[in-house]
Structure 1
Amino acid sequence: MPDVAVVGSGPNGLAAAVTMARAGLSVQLFEAAGTVGGGIRTAELTLPGYRHDVCAAVHPMALASPFFQAFELGRRIELLVPDVSYAHPLDGGRAGIAHRSLDRTVAGLGPDGPAWRRLMEPLLRRLDGIVDFTQDKLLRLPADPLAVAAFGLRVLAQGTPGWNVGFKSDVVPAMLTGVGAHAIGRLPSLATSGAGLLLGVLAHAGGWPVPAGGSQAIADSLADDLVAHGGEITVSHKVRSIAELKAATGARAVIADVTPRALAAMAGDILPPRYMRSLESFRYGPGVFKVDFALSGPVPWIAPGVGRAPTVHLGGSRAAIAFAESEVLAGRHPENPYVLAVQPSVLDGSRAPAGHHTFWAYTHVPAGSTRDCTEQIIAAVERHAPGFRDLILASRGQTARDMGEYNANYIGGDISSGAVTLGQLLKRPVVSADPWRTPAAGLYLGSASTPPGPAVHGMGGWLAARSALKHSFGLPAPDLGMGA
């Protein structure tokens, strides 16, 4: 009979389970799929010997997340950190290259190098305070108010229509927009600007690492730690009712790594009407179409430096990307979409047979879309890497609807588990100093639908677990380090 039941084994569910087990409680984790991991699974999706990340592939938050720092993830698995965090090809054989070195990046940006330094260097100096605020203290008193002020001023500058002021070329604006588009929202906006600037400064700090062997390594390290501390994992078990789960297990607390829509379906009989209305009014964002490729060789990028970047943003200029994203938000498929591409095997030779490569790309589409965008993605890559098509040995596409069927947290293919807007970063799914604690006794919500929102950081689950430890068990947060 466990003290704690955890529903869902994505990074947040695993983080919650590990935290509770480390506190000395008995934990049972339930996963509907046949394997743990959620958005951080790795599998042979195209051909034998080609290992693809099913969803998340590059992890800027893996080194910066307060949870993963406490868990000492970098000591448990091999995180390959590139010298080039990301690249943004433009027409004419040009590209914006974000080196991990701020100085190298500035030197390569020509007339806008000084503007990049003015934007990023103050954030780099106060990165700890920015991470503390954005990942843990959004609605609480920040530890470093000056860091929040520096970050906030830049979010305002890049999140409003005056976002081009101070730039002399099209390269830096395109780079900033490509990173901000990770948030899958309106451009410009404060939410996408904040997400983009955090990712942007992390590119010059810990970098954007790729786990050796695939993202599954993160899930496996968490699962191994859970089991080592007495936890149990039950896969292929879909939880349909929280009340029935508590009755069957006797658990004093349940932490759910699910969306508000799923929580309403599972726990509507034990939640008050006002809270249910908040769950039911929670909005979901656009979906993604994702395609994985097995390649016979490296992508033949025209612009120097792009082949060294595991992450590549395609879509052209700032204006072109902003227009494409506005089309998606209006429910249309853009003719020339923004494409986020990942080539992990430029760092990790274990992903494919010798000399071969894996390549992963997605584009944003209206929620629930059934359109296959493989040809559009190939065309976007070919524009900057002629001959890419000739390297394709096999491909596997997943529509937005497919993504939603694969992972119940991806409503309509929304991999962010909720629209990324300023309102929904503050109300996720309720405005509260403790939004992880629901009105039902012993029930906690710890997913990407809670603060701090999407990304592989484990924070939603960790913060939910800390709330559960305090309110359901009267226990302090445990040490998560390897020696504990």
Structure 2
Amino acid sequence: MKDKYDAIIIGSGPNGLAAATYLQQQGFKTAVYEQESKPGGATKTLELTIPGVKNDMGSAILPMAFGSPFFRSLPLSHYGLEWIFPDIPFAHALPNGKAVACYKDITRTAEQFDDDSTAYVKLFEELINGWDELENDILGPLGFPDKPSLFLKFGFKAFPSVKMLADHYYREERAKLLLYGAAAHSGLPMSQLASASFGLVLTIMAHKYNWPFPKGGAGNFITALIQHYKALGGELILNKKVECLSQLPPSKTYLFDVTPKQLLKIDGLDLSSIYRKRLENFKYGTAVFKMDWALSGPIPFLNEKCRKAATVHLGFSTEEITISEEMIHNNQVSSKPYVIVAQHTIYDDSRSPEGVHTAWAYCHVPNGSTQDCSEIIKDQIEKAAPGFKDLIIKENSLNTKQLQVLDPNLIGGDINGGSQDLSQLFTRPIVTTKPYTTSNPSVFICSSSTPPGGGVHGMCGYNAALAAEKFLSK
């Protein structure tokens, strides 16, 4: 039978849509198959609390989407996508009502740190100025960098643990805490090698692009992306779960926006036993327990910096964050967890009725944990914002199993498509220079289980599409 498509993409998360859009741009005939009734993977906006209140199911603040080399090349504003830029990209609450802020302006940020101000600029300035030359190497597969000297400078700072990097550059606890708060997004222990890389990249994003989010909900980013893809001639098929390749129309290539565990369950892929065995060794990582609220007012943070930041990190000392993240890897949860809080409605009143605000938060938990972390998350917020609990109109919580039901790619509640430790940072899903290919030359993997890993940036899908394009062009 003649191939109906050049490429079929299975999964409509940001990576799947990035892969489909790029291939469609190049003149290939593509289709995206999605098992859910609503596309987007974990990047969805739903009414999780009360009617009329828009809560982001997964991703909520999207600096990597805004700064993505591929996504920012697309005319998504033509399809109604509006970005909101908070006054402060992110802040970190300190004890006694104090806080430090990561402003977009690096000098303004550094001025908060007295004796560490020069060190702050020294750590970040060259990397921020050189990011345009670095980004494709950082956000792609392991290979020889375009700018070896600059890449090595980044590597020397990114390879250590965040503890090593912070102790080397900073004397003050508050400067270290700001870096720890960004680095802890990784879900890695603070003493683990390469944990510094996450703190560096996310802080660079803040200084270069801010930490913006889509007006009206993260789902609007997906809506605009799909509209652009369809305008290019792409097809989207919803409510179609793929368990066997024979369920799909004939195609020259297939790109799977799924993790290794899911790929191995699909029949008819003709993957070699060696490749399958290597995929079976893929490691899933730290998971999250996530909460959403409808509130009768904005979160009453004691410090103005936290009140003006769309993202607030909670963990009241480097020791507290260190213990919190170490315990996860011992299958435990700290009673004082590191918490990430997002507050959209202080800048975006389109998400809720008048007088109602939203809040979104999560803490890390062991993969597959069903522990209810509602109270310890609220307790951490209450320390920085007394009276927060009194504002709650309705709350919704999602443990790891519930998250996986909402998005099957979140295996055991892992939001990064697999552990992002040193063994899988660049070498995912297996150790190879061609991570997007499989043992079947017509089958590719384009999910966050490939480089550069988790985050709404679409670069896994874009890079996989480049690999598929080479095959299609032979």
Query: If the length of structure 1 is used for normalisation, what is the TM-score?
Result: 0.94
My pick for the range that moved more, 429-438 or 199-208, is 429-438
Q: Distance in 1 between matches of 2:181 and 2:313?
A: 6
Q: Distance in 1 between matches of 2:358 and 2:279?
A: 39
Task: Determine the structure 2 residue equivalent to 1:449.
Answer: 449
For the 8 Å contact 1:241–1:267, the answer to whether it is kept is yes
Counterpart AA for 2:137: F
Give per-residue Cα distances to partners, 1:225-261, cap 9 Å, x unaligned: 221122211111110013x14xx40111100000011
SS at match of 1:205: helix
Q: How does 1:136-147 map to 2 (within 5 A)?
A: 136=140, 138-147=141-150
Distance 1:442 1:316, change over 3 A: same
My pick for the range that moved more, 13-22 or 105-114, is 105-114
Task: Determine the structure 2 residue equivalent to 1:342.
Answer: 342
SS at match of 2:452: coil
Task: Determine the structure 1 residue equivalent to 2:106.
Answer: 102
SS at match of 1:449: coil
Q: Distance in 1 between matches of 2:161 and 2:308?
A: 27
For the 8 Å contact 1:255–1:443, the answer to whether it is kept is yes
Q: How does 1:117-196 map to 2 (within 5 A)?
A: 117-136=121-140, 138-156=141-159, 158-159=161-162, 161=164, 163-196=166-199
For the 8 Å contact 2:160–2:195, the answer to whether it is kept is no
**Are residues 1:204 and 2:207 paired?**
yes
Q: Distance in 1 between matches of 2:193 and 2:86?
A: 29
SS at match of 1:203: helix
Q: Distance in 2 between matches of 1:109 and 1:286?
A: 31
Q: Distance in 2 between matches of 1:268 and 1:335?
A: 46
Gaps of 5+ in 1: 475-484
My pick for the range that moved more, 447-456 or 186-195, is 186-195
Counterpart AA for 2:203: G
Structure 2 residue corresponding to 1:80, chosen from 61, 69, 84: 84
Counterpart AA for 1:374: S
Please report how far the alpha carbon of residue 173 of structure 1 lies from its aligned counterpart in structure 2 after TM superposition.
Answer: 0.8
Task: Determine the structure 2 residue equivalent to 1:293.
Answer: 293
Q: Distance in 2 between matches of 1:295 and 1:395?
A: 9
Q: How does 1:352-431 map to 2 (within 5 A)?
A: 352-431=352-431
Please report how far the alpha carbon of residue 29 of structure 1 lies from its aligned counterpart in structure 2 after TM superposition.
Answer: 1.0
Q: Distance in 2 between matches of 1:141 and 1:267?
A: 36
Task: Determine the structure 2 residue equivalent to 1:477.
Answer: none
Task: Determine the structure 2 residue equivalent to 1:481.
Answer: none
Q: Distance in 2 between matches of 1:352 and 1:130?
A: 39
SS at match of 2:31: strand
Q: Distance in 2 between matches of 1:165 and 1:94?
A: 24
Counterpart AA for 2:121: R
Q: Distance in 1 between matches of 2:121 and 2:43?
A: 33
Task: Determine the structure 1 residue equivalent to 2:120.
Answer: 116
For the 8 Å contact 2:299–2:385, the answer to whether it is kept is yes
Q: Which runs of 4+ in 1 moved over 4 A?
A: 72-76
Task: Determine the structure 2 residue equivalent to 1:279.
Answer: 279
Q: Distance in 2 between matches of 1:115 and 1:293?
A: 38
Count of aligned residue pairs for this structure pair: 470
Give per-residue Cα distances to partners, 1:161-199, cap 9 Å, x unaligned: 464134222101111111001111121333321111000
Q: Distance in 2 between matches of 1:156 and 1:29?
A: 37
Q: Distance in 2 between matches of 1:75 and 1:319?
A: 47
Gaps of 5+ in 2: none
Please report how far the alpha carbon of residue 118 of structure 1 lies from its aligned counterpart in structure 2 after TM superposition.
Answer: 1.3
For the 8 Å contact 1:268–1:276, the answer to whether it is kept is no
Q: Distance in 1 between matches of 2:127 and 2:39?
A: 35
Q: Distance in 1 between matches of 2:455 and 2:170?
A: 29
**Are residues 1:263 and 2:263 paired?**
yes
Please report how far the alpha carbon of residue 461 of structure 1 lies from its aligned counterpart in structure 2 after TM superposition.
Answer: 0.8
Q: Distance in 2 between matches of 1:450 and 1:152?
A: 19
For the 8 Å contact 1:309–1:346, the answer to whether it is kept is no
Task: Determine the structure 2 residue equivalent to 1:314.
Answer: 314
Please report how far the alpha carbon of residue 289 of structure 1 lies from its aligned counterpart in structure 2 after TM superposition.
Answer: 0.5
Distance 1:114 1:74, change over 3 A: farther
Counterpart AA for 2:366: P
My pick for the range that moved more, 393-402 or 182-191, is 182-191
For the 8 Å contact 2:159–2:195, the answer to whether it is kept is no
SS at match of 2:119: helix
Give per-residue Cα distances to partners, 1:111-159, cap 9 Å, x unaligned: 32222111111111111123122102x4222122232122122224554
Counterpart AA for 2:98: R
Structure 2 residue corresponding to 1:240, chosen from 235, 238, 243: 243
Please report how far the alpha carbon of residue 355 of structure 1 lies from its aligned counterpart in structure 2 after TM superposition.
Answer: 3.3
Q: Distance in 2 between matches of 1:357 and 1:342?
A: 11
Give per-residue Cα distances to partners, 1:268-295, cap 9 Å, x unaligned: 7511111101110000012110010001
For the 8 Å contact 1:9–1:31, the answer to whether it is kept is yes
For the 8 Å contact 1:82–1:209, the answer to whether it is kept is yes
Distance 1:441 1:148, change over 3 A: closer
Q: Distance in 2 between matches of 1:413 and 1:104?
A: 37
Q: Distance in 2 between matches of 1:267 and 1:322?
A: 43
Please report how far the alpha carbon of residue 74 of structure 1 lies from its aligned counterpart in structure 2 after TM superposition.
Answer: 5.7
Q: Distance in 2 between matches of 1:80 and 1:108?
A: 25
